[in-house]
Amino acid sequence: MAGNPSHPDTILRIKKTFAAPREKVWHAWTDPKALMRWFAPADDFSTPLVEVNLRVGGKYRIQMKAPNGELHIVGGVYREIQPPERLVFTWASEGNASCGPAGHETLVTVELHERGSVTELVLTHERFTNAAERDKHDHGWKGCLAQLEKKL
């Protein structure tokens, strides 16, 4: 549940460095058109729909389309917005098991740190129901971040 603290075994943390200014990486995470260009786990996926209401309490919704036509839809609510350094939002699947159990809300924190001419991203995704769900998301997030790296 969203109010429960995360067990250490169900916390996912990924660090990745991008050869781009922090503001550009922030824009990629917060602009709907930018998100449509990269937010998918692989080259053969598309992102036909992104809705963003970028304010605390505002909602977002992202639709990813697999090569077989299957839709993977996630959405949530922005909990914290500190441009261009920190973005916190809830994450819940709209029924596709690969995005998590329907109705189970997890929490994502994206931190962007200036490191000279590059940006270090630290993504923390927590409140998974078990380690298998965490590992599934690890694979998906790493794919998404690889797509972001190509588009930056």
Per-domain residue ranges for the chain? Answer: 8-151
Q: What percent of the chain has pLDDT over 90?
A: 85
Lowest mean pLDDT among 19-33, 99-113, 120-134: 99-113
At residue 96, the pLDDT reads 65
Tokens of 150: 């190509």
HSE value, Cβ hemisphere, 13 Å, CA-based, for 81: 14
Q: How large is the C-alpha radius of gyration of the chain?
A: 14
Quickly count: other Cβ atoms within 10 Å of residue 133's Cβ. Answer: 20
Contact 32, 49 (CB under 8 A): no
Q: What average pLDDT does range 60-70 have in this prediction?
A: 96
Torsion of CA 90, 80, 51, 34, to 10 degrees: -110
Phi, psi of 112 (to 5 degrees): -120, 120
What is the rounded CA–CA span in Å between residue 25 and residue 144? 13
What is the rounded CA–CA span in Å between residue 67 and residue 19? 29
Q: What percent of the chain has pLDDT over 70?
A: 90
Q: What would be the CATH architecture of the domain defined by 8-151? A: 2-Layer Sandwich (3.30)
